[in-house]
Structure 1
């Protein structure tokens, strides 16, 4: 269970920053962890490559230098060879600076003779109308995501919260299989006492494809459903080649409101 909870920490961190937190695996051989994302918001975009460490080792996850990393917009026929930044193991784009909904993006990482590949198609964007609050119990305030779900396809979502400029570690996933085409008013849970009066709350609605949703949904189940026996030991990655992590082409819609009661 400890292993699974640490795996989850990287998921909520990566989409809003370039520093990646990676799982520490107890008495396990170090593994490569790759995380990357392209979105419909302005780039540059980043791919992080680190090595896992043992659970009881220092909280330092070495970045992996020397990889050849490309992201290809296969729809447009554009390939971007990423360069490593001053942070070891963190690679950035130069050509692909604005993701396009409907386009498919390919990740290719070559490292020490190994090859890791992934494909993700950016869904059509869904816009948040507003973020409101459930104030019936002010000791446990929850945010409400309000938006129209399109009825022409199955959509997969992830919710993130930014509280007074600080990213909340929790995240939630949702698909519209039972609510396709309906107006959604979805409660985004927060811990008791986490959201207070006068807090500035930014809610992000992140649209992902089915493969990324599988990874995130399994990760959420492990982290927040008490690690039931039906949950996988580690989330199912959409990256081929034998590594941890995921690669996502996603859309992002943000709304901000101030808590008042």
Structure 2
């Protein structure tokens, strides 16, 4: 079975993070060498990154061929152009570029003779109120879960992704949520790390809450279902990039909180 299943390791590339690692293990259909686009625009950084690579077989390990020499441009809805320059193989950067809530962004990428496009609208900012660490009710380990609190706006449909960092390392678990059942209400949810990502007293915790558009929510929700078992067979997650490749283009806001676990 493993011989027919392959990795994509995907990461939302945040400039403020100390390192850029692929941390999400996803099984996908048998398509070696297909383009992987990891692209996000946020409202907190003055520099944005887009990363291009190709997926590899399960047995190839953590060696993802970079896609070099591509042309990468992002446009906002006022037709302002942001040209991304390749800084290291496969990594493309635009400086002096901070995303704005309510704006729509379009991405154009050319790799050799192939062109890829995507659009994403940056939602309004929703602030993360607070986070706490709490001991699970079951089990005898001295581990902790992380509980997050925020208030969902009532006027719009909202979608969220939560990213959990433990001691400055992003864990690979995927957390995605919409407001179908809590529109306009105070919300508290518990982020439960997997067994190999346990949290203990003394650990430094940071949670980033991302407000994302519907297509990006569908992408991360699909990955969450697959990574948790979810009762579904491994498949390629939905993408907002055309023609279809692996990955995403997300215009997103970020609100974060940090604590030290007691």
TM-score clears 0.5: yes
Q: CA deviation at 1:19?
A: 4.8
- Aligned-residue offset at 1:213: 0.6
Structure 2 SS opposite 1:211: helix
1:217: which partner in 2?
221
Question: Normalization by structure 2: what TM-score?
Answer: 0.88
- Paired position in structure 2 for 1:206: 210
CA distance in 1 between partners of 2:209 and 2:192 (Å):
14
- 1:81 aligned residue: 83
Counterparts of 2:234 and 2:107, CA distance in 1: 25
Question: Is 1:121 aligned to residue 121 of structure 2?
Answer: yes
Seen in structure 2, the aligned counterparts of structure 1 residues 5 and 202 have a Cα distance that, compared at 3 Å, is farther
Contact 1:26 1:55 in 2 (8 A): no
Supply the distance in 2 between the matched residues of 1:66 and 1:202 (Cα, whole angstroms).
35
Contact 2:147 2:190 in 1 (8 A): yes
- Once the two structures are superposed, what CA deviation does each residue of 1:176-208 show, in whole Å capped at 9, x if it has no partner? 111000000111111347111122211111110
Q: Deviations over 1:113-144 (max 9, x none)?
A: 11100000000000011101222546341111
Relative to structure 1, the CA distance from residue 54 to residue 25 in structure 2 (aligned partners, 3 Å threshold; closer, same or farther) is farther
Q: 1:11-37 CA deviation, whole Å, 9 max, x = no partner? A: 4x6345545579787864411111111
The alignment partner of 2:215 has SS state of helix
Q: Pick the aligned partner of 1:166 from 164, 169, 178.
A: 169
Counterpart of 1:14 in structure 2 is 13
SS of aligned partner of 2:60: coil
Partner of 1:238: 240
Secondary structure of residue in 1 paired with 2:142? coil
8 Å contact from structure 1 (residues 118, 238) kept in 2: yes
Out of 252, 255, 261, the position equivalent to 1:253 is 255
Q: 1:199 to 1:190 in 2, by over 3 A?
A: same
The superposition leaves residues 10-63 of structure 1 with CA deviations (integer Å, 9 ceiling, x where unpaired) of 14x634554557978786441111111100112311111111222222531111
Secondary structure class of the residue paired with 2:225: helix
Matches within 5 A, 1:77-156: 77-85=79-87, 87-95=88-96, 97-137=97-137, 139-156=142-159
Mapped pair 1:43 → 2:46: yes
Q: Unaligned stretches of 5+ in structure 2?
A: none
In structure 1, distance between residues paired with 2:68 and 2:238: 25
The Cα shift of 1:168 comes to 1.2
CA contact (8 A) 1:132 1:144 kept: yes
- Structure 1 CA distance for aligned equivalents of residues 200 and 21 of structure 2: 28
Normalising by structure 1, we get a TM-score of 0.88
Deviation at 1:84, TM superposition (A): 0.5
Alignment CA distance shift 1:174-1:62 (3 Å): same
Report the aligned-residue RMSD.
Answer: 2.4
Aligned residues: 253
CA contact (8 A) 2:173 2:227 kept: no
**Quick check: which one's strand share is greater?**
2
